[in-house]
Amino acid sequence: MNVIDIRNGEVSLLTEFLDKRRKGGKDVSDIVRDIINNIRERGDAALKEYTEKFDGFKYSLESDITVTREEIDEAYKKVSSELKDVIKKAALNIDEFHQKQMAESFIYEKKDGIKLGTLRKPLKTVGIYVPAGTAPLPSSVLMNAIPAKVAGVKNIIMATPPGKTGVIDPAILVAADIAGVTKIYKMGGAQAIAAMAYGTETVDRVDKITGPGNVFVATATKLVFGECDIDMIAGPSEILILADKSADPEFLAADMLSQAEHDKLASSILITAEEELISKVSEEVARRLALLPRKEVAESSINNYGAIVIARDKEQAVEAANIVAPEHLELCIEDAFEYLDKIENAGAVFLGNYTPEPLGDYFAGPNHVLPTTGTARFSSPLNVWDFIKQTSVISYTREALLKSADDVIKFAEAENLEAHAESIKVRRDREKK
């Protein structure tokens, strides 16, 4: 476990440590750009080739690419009653939370009959990407689809890799059905992102793409932005934990590993002013690592990007946390709510020793699609507003326009935009005749 001492004010030691991870990814832009262009030009034919090449699955575009109702019904039979109940409970919590983010369109009236407002309308079609591989993520289905459904999106399509057998993980299909996904495609990787962004003979073109993925998916999402909207450029998962003497070393170690098992590039960092926690947490991490099924992944993450940071006090720890701007921030301190207002940059904050981060991943209700790699400085979790577009409404009466005409003309002329000024003048002068 890496140990970083910032008690002398050297917070830069922590940022330098994190920069090592941020610069560690490989650039696959050229490869992904070729895939996107090929999908754009050749549609289904290119999609078929890439699916066979990268996923090992050969399908008939007329049928196999789209998951059928029969496949979904079969998935329900394969998922235990207990898991189905949990997915439904989580969906209800997520729905309840996101319902509170909704706001109606509005129009208000000022003097002289001026009416101003905002129309709020859902996007028409949204595409969500759900990774497969060794860790299928039905929770990601819920977190991406439910806010879209709450926002009023009618067409929610989902892309997920089919694997060599062409069979989608049943829990993913069940979660998609519960969350209100309207169509599911068996496709993955950069080719799936391109297919949703541009549309093909089979795949619907979308207005926005959300959801996590590997470096190829993330790069493709970045490159198609502008053709459609995207949620964010997601990096590897990360957790930052602030702990004081009230924290339990076993809890802290377990929480650090909960992120480390995601990805070899995941980062788990503990910041504390309690020196005795260093050895206790390090020993507990080592003990728990040996028992993990995903030990190889978690061990690489902890060795390369895990750290315990020694701070002077909680105030310095909070300062460091705000500089890092972590995806997940746990305040495992006895006076957690007193420090909440001091947190400026974090994707999600978990308060107290009995609010571990996995509650947010699966069940609590707030979205688990969060800004990573320091982007919490300027961006927010996925939410209902990501699926709503706003249109401004402006209505002036004759009297209101005449009262404002000279001011608008002066502004337009100051910018040397005479046609703008004339648009006002022609109405003002007509009334003078």
pLDDT tens across the length of the chain (433 residues): 899 999 988 888 888 888 877 766 678 999 999 999 999 999 999 999 999 999 888 887 656 899 999 999 999 999 999 999 999 999 999 999 999 999 999 999 998 899 999 999 999 999 999 998 767 889 999 999 999 999 999 999 999 998 888 889 999 999 999 999 999 999 999 999 999 999 999 999 999 999 988 889 999 999 999 999 999 887 888 999 999 999 999 999 999 999 999 888 899 999 999 999 999 999 999 999 999 999 999 999 999 999 999 999 999 999 999 999 999 999 999 999 999 999 999 999 999 999 999 999 999 999 999 999 899 999 999 999 999 999 999 999 999 999 999 999 999 999 999 999 999 999 999 877 6
Query: What pLDDT does 1 receive?
Result: 83
Residue recorded with tokens 């996007």:
123
Beta-carbon contacts of 20 under 8 Å, excluding residues fewer than 6 positions away, are 305
What is d(CA 85, CA 90) in angstroms, rounded to the nearest whole number? 9
Query: What pLDDT does 415 receive?
Result: 97
Q: Catalytic annotation on 49?
A: no
Strand partners, 122: 388
What is d(CA 251, CA 398) in angstroms, rounded to the nearest whole number? 68
Contact 75, 168 (CB under 8 A): yes
Among 299, 319, 327, 357, the one annotated catalytic: 327
- Type of residue at 251: F
CA angle, 424 as apex, 419 and 429 as ends, to 5°?
115
What is d(CA 190, CA 221) in angstroms, rounded to the nearest whole number? 8
Report residue 255 as tokens: 């929480």
Among 98, 238, 262, 328, the one annotated catalytic: 328
Query: What pLDDT does 13 receive?
Result: 87
Beta-carbon contacts of 67 under 8 Å, excluding residues fewer than 6 positions away, are 168, 173, 183, 184, 185, 186
Q: Catalytic annotation on 327?
A: yes
What is d(CA 328, CA 238) in angstroms, rounded to the nearest whole number? 6
What is d(CA 217, CA 111) in angstroms, rounded to the nearest whole number? 52
Report residue 50 as tokens: 């890439």
Strand partners, 159: 129, 185
Closest CA to 9 of 315, 263, 432: 315
Q: CB-based burial of residue 3 (10 Å sphere; 0-12 exposed, 13-18 middle, 19+ buried)? A: exposed
Query: What pLDDT does 15 receive?
Result: 83
Contact 17, 304 (CB under 8 A): no
The runs of H, that is alpha helices, within 369-417 are 398-414
Query: What pLDDT does 121 receive?
Result: 97
Contact 64, 166 (CB under 8 A): yes
Query: What pLDDT does 23 receive?
Result: 67
Query: What pLDDT does 62 receive?
Result: 59
Strand partners, 125: 155
What is d(CA 190, CA 194) in angstroms, rounded to the nearest whole number? 6
